[in-house]
Structure 1
């Protein structure tokens, strides 16, 4: 049946068996339908259908159930080959039978029955054959496995024999290995240890004895916690418990030596299992003295920087220099762990230094004791003569200078001193001292210098503030005298000017008819000049009294102010047919009378400079933060950009008196009033395009203490009309 192997393998033995069974079932169904239609007796149809369909169903069922049999899948092709062989054998029999003379098998049902039975028989033989091959293959595999096992057993026996040979020398090698391990562990600079659960040291290296001073015999009798002070033992015990629970530990603690010295160490260990099955902690201990010292130095430096920052902040917040000096002395002494710190104040003659502030000194000395600033061997004089800090590690061996009585009386041996302020104009000295011999780091010296710089800046700032306050006081006094002069001058000028105006009008009334045309013109010029002089003096009087003559600030409704101004200007509004529109205006914090003056001056200008058309004016306001911006816009003749800065100067006019009247002081007065309210005033304009005057005023919530109004000096209200 080898001829079937290749095509059967290509299709699959199980598929062929199932397909053959399905074909017989399908053919039987088709034949039965055809014979029933040909009116073949139903009994014959049923018998033949069972003889064909029964084998078909058997092939279909058992072919589908092949995986349930104890047969290897590789033999499914053999079963299919036997099945096809049975089909072929029965087909051959039918062909041979048909070759006899007069004999031929032409009944289709007979062919189906015989081939189906042949296929089922072949399937049964194939199934038996496949089971036999499966058993054979399993036996072959077992034989192969037994051969492999036997080979491995032989190798194991050989290995055991070789191991027995090596075992004779293993004790000697083990001893050598232990010695080698001991050498490696002893070569480690760190401490090596193996600890049992109860804290007993199972193994250690020579470093443990070298560091602690204990002998091997002493260490063998000690517990792990015995190497620490009592206050650290609970921490170590808890660390050991956690180490055995979690499998590792890491802890820092000070190792105590036999002579009582304490050394900072870091310990790290992990659990492992000994050959006897015991769990132990094995690890190392490392000396972290250098790292601890570096961390301490970093902490010290950070603390020093923080103190300098705090003192700088205090210098900005306080005006009390003695408070700042005392706090600086206290902080320097604490940070450097010194007993004393002092601030020496150099007197005006530069020959003596007063102990102005300090800590640690005997009672009653601060503010009273003094040291020489000029003696040749004086430490203070030596410090003043140099532009860098002076460091003393031991005053007893110091060759540059001798310690003054202040330091000798307090048993001072070491310290740092530095100049406060520039070396060419020093204010004094900052010094810190201790009764023990000390070595100071560069960071310590820089720290003292930084504190001295803070003091120097504070002293310089206070001196500058005092000078500035003196200058401001002088300026205020000068301004007050100028205002008094301006008021007195303008007030005193009004009386003779009033007399001139009165007599000119008296001459005009009594003798006007006696003048010719020139005389009348000259008299008119004189009267007009006197009137203009009076208006200018009144304007100057108002300008000089903006600060001193104003009222205290209060909430002011600008809508009411605008209504008052409209009422004051009603005649001009009616004469010019002016239209004034306004948005809802805010409440501001200010002087009601002076604010009315601003509105009246600006609106009067807008009406006056409206041009040929009736004035059209709009008032609006916009808030920006804590300020209101009020704008008064007109559609008048406008202002040339080159003249816009000039209109706020006193007595500056842009037009001749023949075309427009006025004193030229109205906008200057507005500017000064706005400045008193802490605001700004400006103008935006183009010739022929109108003008917008804007100014800022404080909201009701804002209180500008620097611009608070002073009481009236003369008790009279400002003339706002």
Structure 2
């Protein structure tokens, strides 16, 4: 507005002819403040003033204008004072507007700074509040952290208490085998301190020979996720304790893989397993010695093996068998292990000295156990033991206490104790030896008896042969003279004489048959052929041919199943079949004989049966029919010598078989016998 008024005024004045200089100065005084207002107003945004205070600056400008106008009005009210120049009014109001502009700018800047300060104070207050809230939260968080740390520490202490209360060894391993954590048991068991364990690796807790195994197990544990291992844990003082270790791989909060596990003392289990193994080994040795006792006739071989096995199983330095002499005065070291060369077979020990361990053992019915020979008050050790630095051992008698054969003893140079199982083992071996000795003595006696029986049988056979041979001659003489009497004087004899003569001839004939049967019976063992494979069907066919006349005369029918090959004497087996078939025909009764022959395999033997439909045998007589000269019927009813079945029995027994009869009176009889099958 001031610029426009100044410009219009200048134009009018200059046009009116007023000098330019007068017009210019007044126009500048009017237009200058207007330009200042225009320029400052245009550049007001460059000032540090908030836009909300721009109106206040305008108010200060109008305020300056109003103050000047008010001053001019007051000035005009003075008597005689009149401002009649419009230019003066314009100049003064323009300057008042510029003054108001300056005051407004100052005021706006002050307000702006105040507003900014207030805003900053608000921001600071907000920040302070936020800071206080943050501090409060941090304090709460710190309190929670402290409480969490306290709980964590308490939990760690609780965990440590739990782990320390565990009797097993707890451990956490890195991949290189170093320990991250362990419990007090690890220190108590190994004897190492916490600082020592912290500087050690897992492989340092085992013997050097097992360290490669431990390294492989740890590596496998990290690869597979689990570890299972049994080894000996070596303590700080060098003691080796059997331990079982198991572990699983875990991941720590830092993402690191570790092996966490426990180690358990398995000394008790190992001891039990060792004890069971020891018992099994002891039982096995007793069984093997028992088997050897049955298989060998060499008693010294059995004794040598027994001493070796006892010393090996009980891990003793010495073992001995003392043989009591016939006089009961001395014990000879018959077999043993560990003793100095030259003593076995020559060294002797007194069996009667009252202070001798050997004498004490011979008088005791239970094994004698010695823990320390030097301190034992029951007896003193013989020179055989003391010279070998023996301290402990087990001794027991071989055989019954009233008639002992000797002593079995095992000894050690260390002072040690023996279990009940060890004592029972030694006693069992002594029992095996006693049975073997008794069996040997019995075998010797049996062999002597067999030799005597064989000699007696040979003499009896010689007697039977001689008797039968010597009886044949007078018997032939009696028969010849009886026949001569019958031919020469037969016509002169009356009926009684002829009957008497017939009885005499028949008696002589039966005597001859009995003598022949007895001779045949005595020669079964000595005059038989060697046993070899025999076809029973061929044997049966030969027997039927020999009995052809008797079979036809009685209208007998003989049937047979397929018969096997057996191991036997063909001639003697033919006698058996012929005798059994002949008896079946002879005792058939009124019905025509019907005879059936069969065979059945029974393991390594064949059971052959001859069944008939004859008169049968009474039950009380069935056991007597195999006796020599035992007849169940009179000679007038059935002919025979009474030696046929006895001969069959002896032949079957020579073949290693049995013979028996099954019969029902009036229904028939079945005679069965066993024969060995030939080798495949």
Deviation per residue, 1:115-142 (Å, 9 max, x gap):
xxxxxxxxxxxxxxxxxxxxxxxxxxxx
The reply to whether residue 553 of structure 1 matches residue 531 of structure 2 is yes
Alignment partner, residue 186 of structure 2: 208
Distance of aligned partners of 1:483 and 1:275 in 2 relative to their CA distance in 1, 3 Å threshold:
same
Which residues of 2 match residues 47-58 of structure 1 at below 5 A?
none
Distance of aligned partners of 1:261 and 1:640 in 2 relative to their CA distance in 1, 3 Å threshold:
closer
TM-score, scaled relative to structure 1: 0.69
Deviation per residue, 1:655-685 (Å, 9 max, x gap):
3333333222223322322222233334444
CA distance in 1, matches of 2:466, 2:634: 29
Aligned residue among 402, 419, 434 for 1:424: 402
Alignment partner, residue 517 of structure 1: 495
- CA positional deviation for 1:377: 1.4
Q: Secondary structure at the match of 1:396?
A: coil
CA distance in 1, matches of 2:592, 2:145: 130
- CA positional deviation for 1:439: 2.4
CA distance in 2, matches of 1:517, 1:699: 58
Distance of aligned partners of 1:639 and 1:170 in 2 relative to their CA distance in 1, 3 Å threshold:
closer
Alignment partner, residue 209 of structure 2: 231
CA distance in 1, matches of 2:554, 2:157: 123
Distance of aligned partners of 1:247 and 1:490 in 2 relative to their CA distance in 1, 3 Å threshold:
same
Distance of aligned partners of 1:577 and 1:288 in 2 relative to their CA distance in 1, 3 Å threshold:
closer
- CA positional deviation for 1:617: 4.1
Which residues of 2 match residues 491-640 of structure 1 at below 5 A?
491-612=469-590, 614-640=592-618
Alignment partner, residue 661 of structure 1: 639
Q: Secondary structure at the match of 2:652?
A: helix
Alignment partner, residue 67 of structure 1: none
- CA positional deviation for 1:638: 4.2
Alignment partner, residue 4 of structure 1: none
The reply to whether residue 410 of structure 1 matches residue 407 of structure 2 is no
Report the more deviating stretch, 201-210 or 549-558. 201-210
CA distance in 2, matches of 1:638, 1:443: 62
CA distance in 1, matches of 2:227, 2:577: 84
- CA positional deviation for 1:228: 2.7
CA distance in 2, matches of 1:486, 1:520: 34
- CA positional deviation for 1:381: 0.6
Alignment partner, residue 274 of structure 2: 296
The reply to whether residue 675 of structure 1 matches residue 653 of structure 2 is yes
Which residues of 2 match residues 709-720 of structure 1 at below 5 A?
none
CA distance in 2, matches of 1:231, 1:548: 74
CA distance in 1, matches of 2:664, 2:186: 96
- CA positional deviation for 1:184: 4.9
Q: Secondary structure at the match of 2:625?
A: helix
Aligned residue among 255, 271, 280 for 2:233: 255
- CA positional deviation for 1:636: 4.2
Deviation per residue, 1:72-108 (Å, 9 max, x gap):
xxxxxxxxxxxxxxxxxxxxxxxxxxxxxxxxxxxxx
- CA positional deviation for 1:631: 3.7
Structure 2: gaps (5+ residues): 1-133
CA distance in 1, matches of 2:277, 2:244: 20
CA distance in 2, matches of 1:549, 1:577: 35
Alignment partner, residue 474 of structure 1: 452
Q: Secondary structure at the match of 1:673?
A: helix
Structure 1: gaps (5+ residues): 1-155, 703-721
Mark the structure with the bigger radius of gyration.
Answer: 2
The reply to whether residue 352 of structure 1 matches residue 330 of structure 2 is yes
Which residues of 2 match residues 481-496 of structure 1 at below 5 A?
481-496=459-474
CA distance in 1, matches of 2:668, 2:150: 117
CA distance in 2, matches of 1:186, 1:599: 93
Which residues of 2 match residues 144-223 of structure 1 at below 5 A?
162-167=140-145, 170-171=148-149, 178=156, 181-223=159-201
Q: Secondary structure at the match of 1:437?
A: coil
CA distance in 1, matches of 2:263, 2:322: 51
Q: Secondary structure at the match of 1:319?
A: coil
- CA positional deviation for 1:420: 1.4
CA distance in 2, matches of 1:569, 1:294: 77
The reply to whether residue 387 of structure 1 matches residue 365 of structure 2 is yes
The reply to whether residue 264 of structure 1 matches residue 242 of structure 2 is yes
Distance of aligned partners of 1:179 and 1:478 in 2 relative to their CA distance in 1, 3 Å threshold:
same
Q: Secondary structure at the match of 1:589?
A: strand
Q: Secondary structure at the match of 1:457?
A: helix
Q: Secondary structure at the match of 1:482?
A: helix
Distance of aligned partners of 1:510 and 1:354 in 2 relative to their CA distance in 1, 3 Å threshold:
same
The alignment of Structure 1 onto Structure 2 pairs a total of residues equal to 548
CA distance in 2, matches of 1:614, 1:274: 106
Q: Secondary structure at the match of 1:664?
A: coil
Aligned residue among 667, 677, 680 for 1:699: 677
Q: Secondary structure at the match of 1:397?
A: coil
Report the more deviating stretch, 204-213 or 670-679. 204-213
- CA positional deviation for 1:435: 2.0
- CA positional deviation for 1:174: 5.0
Alignment partner, residue 277 of structure 1: 255
CA distance in 1, matches of 2:280, 2:198: 45
Which residues of 2 match residues 333-344 of structure 1 at below 5 A?
333-344=311-322
CA distance in 1, matches of 2:227, 2:264: 14
Q: Secondary structure at the match of 1:304?
A: helix
- CA positional deviation for 1:373: 0.4
Alignment partner, residue 301 of structure 2: 323
Distance of aligned partners of 1:276 and 1:629 in 2 relative to their CA distance in 1, 3 Å threshold:
closer
Aligned residue among 233, 240, 243 for 2:221: 243
- CA positional deviation for 1:498: 1.0
Deviation per residue, 1:514-563 (Å, 9 max, x gap):
33333333222222222222122112221222222222223333343344
Distance of aligned partners of 1:158 and 1:503 in 2 relative to their CA distance in 1, 3 Å threshold:
farther
Distance of aligned partners of 1:552 and 1:395 in 2 relative to their CA distance in 1, 3 Å threshold:
same
- CA positional deviation for 1:159: 8.5
Distance of aligned partners of 1:335 and 1:571 in 2 relative to their CA distance in 1, 3 Å threshold:
closer
Distance of aligned partners of 1:158 and 1:340 in 2 relative to their CA distance in 1, 3 Å threshold:
same
Distance of aligned partners of 1:208 and 1:418 in 2 relative to their CA distance in 1, 3 Å threshold:
same
CA distance in 2, matches of 1:214, 1:633: 93
- CA positional deviation for 1:178: 4.7
Report the more deviating stretch, 193-202 or 629-638. 629-638
